[in-house]
Chains A and B, each alone.
Chain A
Amino acid sequence: GAGVSQSPSNKVTEKGKDVELRCDPISGHTALYWYRQSLGQGLEFLIYFQGNSAPDKSGLPSDRFSAERTGGSVSTLTIQRTQQEDSAVYLCASSPSGQEQYFGPGTRLTVT
């Protein structure tokens, strides 16, 4: 069956530009997570959505970062006025129950 998909797979942008990253979770999964992973590092939690509940935004590093999830399915992570330190792989994961997470292939963001 279809897994979690993310687009684009790679994004190169200039410092100061806005970017939008998309995540399509597995159908029926109520939980959706965004993480950031810098080269050789662990996963840094960004934001969590569960059903219709208010999202847990406690991991967002600054107000330049925002995310939404429409209709309980597709999610977009938006980074405004990108900075070089935003360069990383952005991973999305979905879960049917808040336990086992299924990860997408990630979006590699490079800010020049």
Chain B
Amino acid sequence: GQNIDQPTEMTATEGAIVQINCTYQTSGFNGLFWYQQHAGEAPTFLSYNVLDGLEEKGRFSSFLSRSKGYSYLLLKELQMKDSASYLCAVRDPNSSASKIIFGSGTRLSIRP
């Protein structure tokens, strides 16, 4: 099976940088996703990593280390609208299909 761990809550200051970590324990690996979910809304896609390294997309970057079973989402120049839950998800390599398993999410609060 899959086990995905991420912090439950984090707080950061507007304009600052925050790093949200995710670790996973799987029997194999086939891709890792980050999603953003504002309260009461559906998740929206942020990033997808399948190879080691950093993927940068504007203010958001995602890093993956397959050997360590570790990823992080880096948010720069934080804005109040970045207050949301951030969900880490992995593709289940034991599924012949593209089953994607989500972690419980990290609730990020931005203070002025």
Taking Cβ atoms with an 8 Å cutoff, the residues of A that contact B are 31, 33, 35, 41-45, 48, 50, 53, 56, 58-59, 91, 95, 98-106
Contacts and interface: CB of A to CB of B under 8 A. Distances in A.
Contacts of A91: 42-43
B45 A100 contact: yes
A37 to B, nearest CB: 9
Given A48-B98, A56-B99, A43 B87 contact: yes
A61 to B, nearest CB: 15
Interface string B95-112: 111111111110000000
Contacts of B97: 31, 48, 50, 53, 56, 98
Contacts of A31: 97-98
B31 interface: yes
A43 B42 CA distance: 11
Given A43-B43, A43-B87, A106-B42, A99 B31 contact: yes
B102 A95 contact: no
Contacts of B95: 48, 56, 58
Contact of A103 (B44, B96, B99, B104): B44
A102 B99 contact: no
B48 interface: yes
Interface in B38-56: 41-45, 48
B17 to A, nearest CB: 24
